[in-house]
């Protein structure tokens, strides 16, 4: 009799329909499917009746499931490590104040900077974990977390350390992005170039500590100029770190084209990206990360150039942009719904945007689809069709979440 150790797979899920997303279009659906893994990697994907034996003879753990299974969701743009909140600013915007006016009056990012600087590492983790847990229990298996609310070496380090601890605590993968070029701290008022010098000086230290997976900047009139952004990107390139950019959110400063010039992973927001920027992104394979949460909360009306992205073959990812000021969004599935409602994405586009394309926006080739050889990140949903993931406004649709085959939610 087998003792289980000689079986070829660690686990197998049978019975649910599979949305493999393996291919360029369609859900890649398989009815009454079988999904198996070993050592955290998918080893079999197909219909149950095509298995080379009984599930019990093949795998140590056999799970009978219903509904649908999709790849684990990837939230490729968040700022979820922060302290405090900015609910009062939300109220001010509803009363007519603009995002720019609030920022210039000392609110906005700088108000969160003050709260982060005042919080200990333990306090910052305690406030951030529930937000990350909300994302994970709604299907996110990989989450990108940016710094950018510390704006000095000690507090940027603190944020990045907390981001790593979030992943360890929840059993999900966290990718960290260095975003010290997010806003000008008060101690550098009127000296933006000097601050960029400091940002560049801190980067090698944090990278050497294993805290930086990518580098980002806020290229905008209330952020940093293209020339200043270029200096940050040059520093990242010297360390062989990939870059991404908050690009063309409030105006067109050519951010998308700048990302493409540096072979960056993604241009994010992109509401004001020009046709030249779209062509540049297409030429270098950059991903357009759509952030409908911020679009929704800021009540924006300028749509990203969605038809141009489709026409030029630019992959479109979708992310929560979870942050205290402009996108207090704790569900990637809700971001998918907003992308369908505001940006007219199809449910299939939205699902690909939070799996295949979101993984690409983080430079990750080992996840985002259910395919042999990919990491065994997957979610079982209580739905009759994948389009329901974008149809329901809220609610609990997630039955279980696995990361590298291990259940985390």
**Strand ranges, E, within 52-155:** 59-64, 68-71, 73-75, 140-146
Helices 192-208 + 153-170 axis angle, to 10? 40
For residue 221 the two structure tokens come to: 């009139």
Strands 68-71 and 378-381 come out as antiparallel
321 annotated to bind ligand: yes
Helix, strand, or coil (residue 270): coil
- Which of 225, 214, 218 is closest to 326 using CA atoms? 218
**How do 398-403 and 378-381 pair as beta strands?**
antiparallel
Residue with tokens 């599935």: 333
Buried b (16+ CB within 10 A) or exposed e, 61-70: bbbebebbbb
Q: Which residues, including other chains, have CB under 8 Å from residue 114's CB and lie 6 or more apart?
A: none
Q: Does 326 belong to an annotated binding site?
A: yes
Whether 3 has a binding-site annotation, put simply, is no
Is 182 assigned a ligand-binding role in the annotation?
yes
Is 79 annotated to bind a ligand? Reply is yes
How big is the chain by its Cα radius of gyration, in Å?
A: 21
Cβ-Cβ contacts under 8 Å for 370 (sequence gap 6 or more): 18, 19, 20, 21, 22, 28, 35, 42, 45, 69, 70, 71, 378
The response to whether 43 counts as a known ligand-binding position is: no
Residue whose pair of structure tokens reads 């369908």 in the numeric block: 340
Q: Is 249 annotated as a binding residue?
A: yes
**Binding site feature residues for N-formimidoyl-L-glutamate:** 149, 323, 325
**Binding site feature residues:** 77, 79, 86, 149, 182, 246, 249, 321, 323, 325-326
**Binding site feature residues for 4-imidazolone-5-propanoate:** 86, 149, 182, 249, 326
**Binding site feature residues for Fe(3+):** 77, 79, 246, 321
**Binding site feature residues for Zn(2+):** 77, 79, 246, 321
């Amino acid at each position: 009799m087998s003792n289980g150790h000689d079986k070829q797979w660690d686990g197998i899920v049978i019975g649910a329909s599979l949305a493999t997303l393996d291919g360029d279009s369609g859900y890649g659906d398989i009815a009454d499917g079988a999904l198996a893994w070993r050592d955290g990697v998918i080893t079999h994907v197909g219909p149950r009746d095509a298995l080379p034996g009984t599930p019990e003879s093949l795998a140590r753990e056999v799970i009978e499931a219903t509904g649908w299974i999709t790849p684990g969701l990837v939230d490729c743009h968040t700022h979820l490590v922060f302290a405090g909140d900015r609910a009062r600013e939300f109220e001010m915007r509803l009363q007519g104040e603009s995002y720019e006016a609030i920022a210039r009056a000392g609110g906005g990012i700088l108000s969160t900077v003050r709260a982060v600087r005042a919080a200990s590492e333990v306090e910052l983790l305690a406030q951030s974990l529930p937000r990350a847990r909300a994302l994970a229990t709604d299907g996110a298996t990989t989450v990108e977390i940016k710094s950018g609310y510390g704006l000095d070496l000690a507090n940027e380090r603190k944020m990045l350390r907390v981001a790593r601890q979030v992943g360890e605590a929840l059993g999900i993968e966290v990718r960290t992005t260095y975003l010290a070029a997010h806003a000008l701290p008060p101690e550098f008022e009127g000296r933006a170039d000097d601050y960029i010098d400091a940002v560049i000086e801190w980067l090698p230290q944090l990278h050497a500590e294993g805290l930086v997976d990518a580098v980002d900047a806020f290229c905008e009139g209330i952020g940093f100029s293209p020339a200043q952004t270029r200096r940050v990107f040059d520093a990242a390139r010297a360390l062989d770190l990939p870059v991404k950019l908050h690009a063309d959110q409030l105006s067109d400063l050519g951010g998308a084209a700048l990302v493409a010039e540096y072979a960056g992973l993604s241009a994010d927001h992109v509401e004001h990206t020009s046709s030249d920027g779209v062509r540049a992104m297409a030429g270098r394979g950059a991903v357009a990360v759509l952030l409908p949460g911020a679009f929704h909360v800021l009540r924006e009306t300028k749509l990203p150039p969605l038809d141009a992205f489709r026409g030029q073959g630019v992959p479109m990812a979708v992310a929560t942009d979870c942050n205290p000021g402009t996108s207090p969004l704790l569900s990637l599935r809700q971001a998918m719904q907003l992308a369908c409602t505001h940006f007219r994405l199809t449910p299939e586009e939205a699902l690909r945007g939070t799996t295949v394309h979101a993984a690409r926006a983080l430079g990750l080739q080992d996840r985002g689809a259910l395919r042999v050889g990919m990491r065994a990140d997957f979610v079982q949903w209580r739905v009759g069709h994948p389009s329901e993931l974008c149809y329901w406004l809220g609610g609990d649709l997630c039955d279980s979440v696995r990361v590298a085959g291990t259940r985390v939610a």
